[in-house]
Amino acid sequence: MKLITAIIKPFKLDDVREALSDVGVAGLTVTEVKGFGRQKGHTELYRGAEYVVDFLPKVKLEIAVSDETLDAAVNALVEGASTGKIGDGKIFVTSLEQVIRIRTGESGAEAI
Amino acid sequence: MNNLLVKIGALSVLGLMPEIASADELNGGNTAWILTSTALVLFMTLPGLSLFYAGLVRSKNVLTVLMQCFSIACLVSVLWLLGAYSFIFTDGGVLNGFIGGAEKILALGMGTADLSGDIPETVFFMFQMTFAIITPALIVGGFAERMKFSSMFWFSGLWLVLVYVPVCHWVWGGGWLAEMGVMDFAGGIVIHINAGVAALVAAIVIGKRNGFPKIPMPPHNMTMVVAGAGMLWVGWFGFNAGSALTADGAAGMAMLVTHISAAAASLTWMFLEWKIHGKPSVLGIVTGMVAGLGTITPASGFVGPVGGLLIGISAGLICYYATQYIKTKLQIDDSLDVFSVHGIGGITGSLLTAVFAATEMGGLGLPEGVTIMSQVTVQFIAIFATIIWSAFFTFVILKILDSTLGIRVTAEQEQQGLDVVLHDERGYDQL
């Protein structure tokens, strides 16, 4: 089992959710976050004075998948989140030791 | 009352309201309008200015600012009754050039039948009180997000007594500036320069907010700022058109020039940002509006529509560059730009009053025997005296408070946010 953590542009969230649904991903968690990467910050205005905002708003997705669905899910994420411009985000994949469904007590891939 | 006489004097010269000068019977129309204006001017502080300022600070300090404005309104109201009104608007005898008398402390002897001009004195008392309320509330913007509540409270009370009361008496209570013929229709000098200078000095004495200017401190709620700004604009009709103390064409003209100046200054600021930065901002257009309103205030009863337009454009231009200069160049953390907008706007407007009041400049006319240059000189003296007086006493009051109560919260408290630290409350329900 793997945990996919993806940082994407907020306006691509719907595209990503649809692409993931199409490959059979049944659940995900979304958080609004701020951060910076190569895109850096941007300039805002305060009464005529410009200042740099270092952290840009992004959306963080957390998705638990079985080893078999991993590649399809990652492809769907890339396809859904890509605009080709700087700031599209990143995908991190980590191993997942255990998953437990609280209601039934099921564990492992069954619980995903 | 003397305030009224001064204005009647000025307006009678213009031939605008000859019937008022001799009137000592109650005028229902005038009374109704000043009652309305009183409510409008209080509305400027509660909740107009309060929301405007509260939206401009960071979310952790939103309640502090609301609390400061609200408590100042209450404190000034009580001080007004205790003696502020009397020492401004009654005759001080031999000291009258400098300060009024004590005969009306606690509003003694002021009954329902007593008149001030042709309106009840109770109405005049209340109308003038709302001006006294907004003045110390404006200063809050200079020391926002870092001052102790206790010191803020002491400062506001002492400042009202030591600065507002004498300066208001000089200009509107028949004091030495009134004797010289200073023209300040609705408070460019008494309110905006006075408060603007105090905010600048307070910002310097208390020091920059931690992180200023490296860390940006943008407004936490622009919706609140725009709502507050809209209320200020509407309330300002009471401020300026109410200052005519009559319900007539003079009030109408004051309302007209006030409105045009606000609109012109808003557009000026908007176009400046658009040109220089590439985009117009909401905070920019509403800041221009406040600048336009503050700047037209001293001139509002003396100038014509074109004067209002030109004063508005000047306000947008001058206050825009003043803000950049104070904050970016000098790096003084006058946090909500009170001096750049109200102080500089008040100075600009008070000087331009002398220019655009002249008949040849489309104004309602200067008093007989007065030229533009002679009036500019009088205005300059009044501005200079007010700056010195306000700066000196603001500095002294804050230094005394700093050595006794301390005026600033600790760095840790400032980081935590004053809402929780000073009031055990938070503005927004966060997990």
Residue-wise pLDDT tens digits, A8-61: 999 999 999 999 999 999 899 999 999 998 887 788 899 988 888 888 999 999
- pLDDT at position B2 is 45
Nearest to B230, CA basis, from B20, B51, B33: B51
- pLDDT at position B9 is 47
Pairwise CA distance, residues B250 & B300, whole Å: 9
Query: Which one-letter amino acid corresponds to residue A14?
Result: D
Pairwise CA distance, residues B59 & B219, whole Å: 8
Asked if ipTM goes beyond 0.90, one says no
* Closest by Cβ to B279, choosing from A45, A51, A52: A45
Locate A68 and state its tokens: 């078999």
| B276 at interface of A, judged by CB pairs closer than 8 A | yes
Nearest to A43, CA basis, from B323, B277, B283: B277
**How does DSSP assign chain A, residue by residue?**
-EEEEEEE-GGGHHHHHHHHHHTT----EEEEEEE-STT--EEEEETTEEEEE--EEEEEEEEEE-TTTHHHHHHHHHHHH--SSTT-EEEEEEE----B-TTT--BGGGG-
Contact A48 B218 (CB under 8 A): no
Burial class (CB in 10 A: 0-12, 13-18, 19+), B388: exposed
Q: To the nearest 10°, report the CA torsion of B168, B174, B178, B180.
A: -140
Contact A45 B323 (CB under 8 A): no
Segments in chain B below pLDDT 50: 1-2, 5, 8-22
Pairwise CA distance, residues B430 & B29, whole Å: 51
What percent of chain A has a predicted confidence (pLDDT) above 90?
A: 82
Query: Which residues of chain A lie closer than 8 angstroms to B273, CB-CB?
Result: 45, 48
What distance in Å separates residue B120's CA from the closest CA in chain A?
A: 43
CB B382 within 8 A of CB B193: no
Contact A49 B328 (CB under 8 A): yes
Query: Which residues of chain A lie closer than 8 angstroms to B218, CB-CB?
Result: 44, 46, 51
Pairwise CA distance, residues B124 & B154, whole Å: 27
| B93 at interface of A, judged by CB pairs closer than 8 A | no
Residues of A with CB under 8 A from a CB of B: 44-53
Contact A48 B216 (CB under 8 A): no
Contact A47 B284 (CB under 8 A): yes
Please give the residue of chain B at the shortest CA–CA distance from A53. B216
Locate B157 and state its tokens: 């009370």
CB count, 10 Å around CB of B422?
A: 20
User: Can you tell me which residue has the tokens 């740099």?
Assistant: A52
Query: Which residues of chain B lie closer than 8 angstroms to A44, CB-CB?
Result: 216, 218
Write the pLDDT tens digit of every residue in B206-265. 999 999 999 889 999 999 999 999 999 999 999 999 999 999 999 999 999 999 999 999
Please give the residue of chain A at the shortest CA–CA distance from B214. A51
Contact B284 A53 (CB under 8 A): no
Contact B324 A48 (CB under 8 A): yes
- pLDDT at position B13 is 44
User: Can you tell me which residue has the tokens 């005969």?
Assistant: B103
Please give the model's pTM, rounded to 2 decimal places.
0.89
- Beta-bridge mates of residue B116: B119
Please give the residue of chain A at the shortest CA–CA distance from B56. A46
Locate B332 and state its tokens: 């003084």
